[in-house]
Amino acid sequence: MTTPSLAAAQSQPEPPRRLVIASRESRLAMWQARHVQALLRERYPQASIEILGMTTEGDRVLDRALSEIGGKGLFTKELEVALADGRADLAVHSLKDVPMVLPEGFTLAAVLAREDPRDAFVSTRYPGLEAMPAGERVGTSSLRRAALIRRRFPGLDVQPLRGNLDTRLGKLDRGEYGAIVLAAAGLKRLGLAERIRSVVPETLSLPAAGQGALGIECLASRADILAWVGALADPPTWVQVSAERMVSRLLGGSCRVPLAAYCVAAPAGGLRLRACVASTDGRELVEADEHTDGHDIPSAEALGERVAALLVERGARELLPPGL
């Protein structure tokens, strides 16, 4: 994958006549696709903007953890096939679900403005993790969340929880879990912010790389799509997630790695990047926190490289699964 440029095309081609957006068919994924559809319709009112809904392997296999069945790429592969064979022009993803290295021939055309990147505590019984008694069940689909919760609250019974957002909330409401931990962004985008009992502070659960951001993917050869869709990009978000994704890329970032990386604009200017790698049981943790004065993608990626190197120096490799 080639590092994307925020100025994908200096010369704008003729406005599109028709664009097809590939999307997973979950309620959240369709919200995201319709959000991009609305932005494109506003910018190109004469164009026909359609959505091609698809079910991915990651949506179909719900009885096993993602790390056991192929990882994040299971949410994007079918959409990429639709791009390659011309059924769709672009695909919309939750950026945290996008592999750190895209297949040859594909690229990110834009990263949109970020929603709340934090984790959300959802429960019908308790106001927060600290209020849960020992032995109570907490559900999450994320190794990162599970490891960080186990580290701070070793008495809780942290269990895997797969399925789309409505499926997970349904399991909570049926009493299968005392609480579940989800991305705050998804709940807010679907108008379910009232389900959030509390937002998990970053000091307890640092966000995943790209969490809360939307990424738009297309064929790297489609200069027209890069130009049309690039106009939707949010440069600050794109820069920040570039730092995060570089850390994850260099440390084999996937659903098999309890890794967090979160970059923000530093108060004094430039960027601040915090990252950590944990053991799956949460007993061990290595952290890094670095700053750069730069505020473009090359500076962000260099910052990510520096933070990844610090994590390795502090023992991160020893915490990663064999083969990564």
State the pLDDT at residue 11.
59
Give CA–CA dist 176/168, Å, rounded. Answer: 10
Measured in whole angstroms, the distance separating CA 74 from the mean position of its chain's CA atoms is 14
State the pLDDT at residue 65.
47
Alpha helices in 44-163 (DSSP H): 57-60, 66-69, 77-84, 143-152
State the pLDDT at residue 55.
79
State the pLDDT at residue 164.
86
* Residue-wise pLDDT tens digits, 300-323: 999 999 999 999 999 999 998 765
pTM, to two decimals: 0.89
State the pLDDT at residue 256.
74
Sketch out the chain's domains with CATH numbers: 18-112+213-233 (3.40.190.10), 119-200 (3.40.190.10), 245-314 (3.30.160.40)
The sign of the torsion formed by the CA atoms of 42, 184, 206, 140 equals negative
Straight-line distance from the first to the last Cα atom of the chain, in angstroms, rounded to the nearest whole number: 19
Residue 106, judged by CB atoms within 10 A of its CB (0-12, 13-18, 19+), counts as buried
* Three-state secondary-structure class, residue 31: helix
For residue 180, the surrounding DSSP H or E stretch is strand 179-183
Give CA–CA dist 110/235, Å, rounded. Answer: 9
Active-site residue numbers? 97
Alpha helices in 105-199 (DSSP H): 143-152, 165-173, 184-189
Give CA–CA dist 296/235, Å, rounded. Answer: 8
Give CA–CA dist 203/117, Å, rounded. Answer: 13
State the pLDDT at residue 56.
65
Contacts (Cβ under 8 Å, ≥6 apart) of 249: 100, 101, 304
Q: What is the CB neighbour count within 10 angstroms for residue 156?
A: 20
β partners of residue 263 = 273
State the pLDDT at residue 57.
58
Residue 191, judged by CB atoms within 10 A of its CB (0-12, 13-18, 19+), counts as exposed
Contacts (Cβ under 8 Å, ≥6 apart) of 30: 23, 24, 51, 53
For residue 37, the surrounding DSSP H or E stretch is helix 27-43
State the pLDDT at residue 70.
45
Q: Would you say 241 and 275 are in contact if contact means Cβ atoms under 8 Å apart?
A: no
205: left (phi over 0), alpha (psi -120 to 50) or beta: beta
Give CA–CA dist 237/317, Å, rounded. Answer: 28
State the pLDDT at residue 254.
59
For residue 230, the surrounding DSSP H or E stretch is helix 223-230
pLDDT per residue as tens, the chain (324 positions): 444 444 444 456 799 999 999 999 999 999 999 999 999 999 999 999 999 999 765 544 444 444 444 445 566 788 999 999 999 999 999 999 898 999 999 999 999 999 999 999 999 999 999 999 999 999 998 999 999 999 999 999 999 998 889 999 999 999 999 999 999 999 999 999 999 999 999 999 999 999 999 999 999 999 999 999 999 999 999 999 999 999 999 998 656 789 999 999 999 899 999 999 999 999 999 999 999 999 999 999 999 999 999 999 999 999 987 655
Phi, psi angle pair for 48, to nearest 5° = -90, 115
For residue 139, the surrounding DSSP H or E stretch is strand 137-140
